[in-house]
Structure 1
């Protein structure tokens, strides 16, 4: 179009920006952004919304935010940035932006509320999620399939499975329902019951979930072919994890050897974890090589191998793995946890003492540790702790 001298309009610009594959979206998008400024269409809200969305998808949240605050904003603008924050793991910022949207009297739509509930799910912000649920009810917005499913997932992820199930049962129409919430809480039978209901209704699943029971899980994996679903690496990783954790790491290794696709770090990591759990050191040594070759930046692989050696007193090998990790520049990612108190979510890192109540919290931990020792509990010392600076 540019080559033959035709002028681009807002529709063509939006189409090009939206259709850019993510691998080249930032480079192409920046070029289009420059063109938009040159031809003075940077006041077109729809065009600028597509730019906010594009920069958000590429993870360039600073640029997305700068455009957001310099333009005339509509509901789609807010949705684009809230969604970008949510999918980039910045759930707290997403919820703050949603609150700001309401303060500016911008009316959210279903897409806004789906993103907000996803942010609540990511951060386990149950109270905030409940508040948004009540807000939707108060304004009389219809619970479409997407919004109801987001609520089901949010309550399941945050804990109150009974509320999640109530919403699920009340849905007049359902699409492919994720049973992830039941799986992570160990409610395997409920997860399988919902899956059976989905099959009985004639609905075709798009993924077969791994529920945690070896017979049922294996049967469900085998039934994927009935739905013309080709197992992906994630499905194989789930099956390897299922077999490995249930005490069948050799069966898991046999499954990997028959895979029609090359196993990735997730598949090898699942088997490596099983070797660590069941003290299969010899197999673990064999699995360590392909695990590190396919995913050399995964700190968890090095730590599993090192701890596996430490558990059987092979300290030199454990130290060798730690040195390898340090030499390759792989750093151990700090563990973190979050807890919601009132309307505020508190996030803690390992060894974090920045919280204003950290002194009282550590005193409580010490008191609990003493009580555990008095009751006869002892810290498991079979594994060496891997600290890599």
Structure 2
């Protein structure tokens, strides 16, 4: 499972006095420009031509027309400056937009709006806000076009404090409940995680549009409130809102995070009917949905059907391949991506390092880790955590320690946690204790660290130390995450815990497990009770491991689903070694394909074999 991406500390202050950055050369004005009336065509015709070139993204012809405009002396007309700024903005050359703006002798509200929008739309939020301040200094009042660009910049930076200042200014100037300004504020609050402010603004708006609805849905999805996100989406459809690709993308991600495959399929069908299925934003969400639900074949199909793929879509497919043990395909995709002229980012390298880690490809991992610098990407704490995880899983624990010691940044909890995982797998309790001491020095840590340490001691039979680690967890008011497994049946999700007897089919489930257990033993299965990380007698160990949550979920699938349907089980914790062995025997004895997703990857069991190759 990929760790949360690191947040970057962004400052506004350095840009208050930023000099104009170097840009490609624009046509230079002549000393004696011709009068506009001497030009062979009116400025309105030129505006229409600029609009056409903007739509077609014809950069070379646009630059030639720009030269003609300068020669004809038409660059002084604010409307033409506006269209030129917009042209360079849509051509993804926002710095040229800024140069056109600076050279315009007269700057209207529309000109200011164009250049601020250019920076905001092209991911230059700091410059957008700097130009917004410059505009205010000149006495130009922001309007319903300028406010949304400024608030979008605040959302990109996750600077809710500046966004609140925008909100205050909107109230003072009477734009608070303008549909465009209000919607941009809702979107900004939602993306900054201030869902309460976003909802209050949303509920008070007299008129809502697709931006306000989409912002709220995205906000709830981002915070993991999937039920509220889906509820809002249903309400939007009920009110006949024309949703866009951003709305669909957010809702599909909710389905993926909740592994709601059937609902996701229905929304995919709706995307197809509304022609949003070809959007790269929707496509990346669909790839993620099908991957997280264990249907990697559909993820490949969606990826192949999208004509124009953005970076997010390439990354979604890469992580899907890594999680489903399609390691070679992940490396092929990386090469295809380079060949298509798509520059990988820090997320891309997290994906390929993840693939290396879960296939034990140490040298490949080192190669991609070094390759990052060739692309000008400085490794972050998550990249170092991936390298430590790769080396730790491969048993190269001292190499992992060396990586940590040589880090140019302070090791984080995720880095030490990766080392702890390697220590648990290979039974190095001394190094595990050292890593635990280091992570505890960072201050309060997540319950997972205590659990990792406890399990490392328990796996080595050091029960007293394991009990102390669990006691520390309790003393600090923390709880170990309960192991859950769930399986989807139609529009219902059936959830199981170890030893669960709450399901309506409990008697049939346990009877199936008993019958299957006898058949598995005849086929050679012997329970490995060393994976019971508690100090109990042998009989209780055997009984405990026999009814782990994933086995109950699989038994439910065996008695419920038709023989030709794969059984897909989702699990929130790592599958234990004995259950992994047992499920291989289950697939062999029943002839069924069983797909299990744990908190790290997918395991596809077929005819007694697993795609992970017993390395996970």
TM-score with structure 1 setting the length: 0.85
1:165 aligns to what? 300
SS at match of 1:114: helix
2:511 aligns to what? 367
> What whole-Å deviation, never above 9, does each CA across 1:281-317 have from its counterpart, x for those lacking one?
1111111111222363211111111122223332322
Residues 266 and 109 of structure 1: CA distance in aligned 2, closer, same or farther (over 3 Å): same
Larger RCO (alpha carbons 8 Å, 6+ apart): 1
> What whole-Å deviation, never above 9, does each CA across 1:129-184 have from its counterpart, x for those lacking one?
22122212223346132222222222222222222212222333223311111111
- 1:213-362 equivalences under 5 Å are 213=359, 214=361, 215-294=363-442, 296-344=444-492, 346=493, 348=495, 350=497, 358-362=502-506
- Whether 1:116 aligns to 2:251 is yes
Find the aligned partners of 1:340 and 1:295 in 2 and give their Cα distance: 40
- 1:4-153 equivalences under 5 Å are 9-10=143-144, 13-14=147-148, 17-20=151-154, 25-26=159-160, 29=163, 33=167, 36=170, 40-71=174-205, 72-141=207-276, 143-153=278-288
Q: Is the 8 A contact 1:372 1:378 kept in 2?
A: no
TM-score with structure 2 setting the length: 0.56
Shift of 1:4: 11
Pick aligned residue for 2:533 from 364, 384, 388: 384
SS at match of 1:339: strand
Find the aligned partners of 1:359 and 1:153 in 2 and give their Cα distance: 30
In structure 2, runs of 5+ residues without a counterpart are 1-132, 536-616
Q: Is the 8 A contact 1:92 1:123 kept in 2?
A: no
Shift of 1:66: 3.4
SS at match of 1:243: helix
2:37 aligns to what? none
Q: Larger radius of gyration, structure 1 or 2?
A: 2
- Bigger mean CA offset, 279-288 vs 29-38: 29-38
> What whole-Å deviation, never above 9, does each CA across 1:6-25 have from its counterpart, x for those lacking one?
96655565455444479985
> What whole-Å deviation, never above 9, does each CA across 1:213-267 have from its counterpart, x for those lacking one?
3132232222222222211111111111111112222221122122222211101
Shift of 1:111: 1.2
Q: Is the 8 A contact 1:297 1:330 kept in 2?
A: no
1:203 aligns to what? 342
In structure 1, runs of 5+ residues without a counterpart are none
Q: How many residues align?
A: 382
Q: Is the 8 A contact 1:98 1:116 kept in 2?
A: yes
